[in-house]
Structures are given as structure tokens and as C-alpha cells.
Amino acid sequence: MNAFAEKVFQPTEVVLRQQEVKDFGDTAIVISDVDYCLLLDGKPTTHHFATTEVFHKQGGEWKLIQFTFTALVY
């Protein structure tokens, strides 16, 4: 968090390339393909990654139960 507060990391843009939702009744999985653009020590950089979110429906409301990041390097 200090890196953000001290402006070492300065987010510039988040690009959602693609998103897929798979519904299994009371469980849903959301997979997103994302580019996270930022200035790192003043230099522009982009990090390509995927997020996986797992939701479970409880009492009529969706609750996030798992969230992961995966770096996509190719």
C-alpha cells in the first residue's frame, strides 16, 4: 500500500479484454481477461492477467467466496 501512497505505482487504466460467466445454479464462476496499466517509477507498463471469481448464492444474495489472480505471460 505504501507504493501506491508514495506514487511508485500509479494506475492509469484497466482494460477488460473478455469476461465469461458460468452459472451452476447457486454457484457462479466469473473469469476475466484483464490488462492493468500503470506507471511504475514513472515508466508506463502493462500487466496482463486473468481473475477467477467464485460466487455462491446465500439467502437470495450472491457472495464472493474465492478470488484469484493469474499472471498471463506469453
Count of domains observed in the chain: 1
**φ, ψ of residue 4 in degrees (nearest 5):** -70, -45
Residue 55, domain extent:
2-71
Question: pLDDT tens for residues 21-48?
Answer: 999 999 999 999 999 999 888 889 999 9
Which CATH number do you get for residue 59?
3.10.450.50
Q: Find out whether 69 and 40 touch, Cβ atoms under 8 Å.
A: no
Question: pLDDT tens for residues 63-73?
Answer: 999 999 999 98
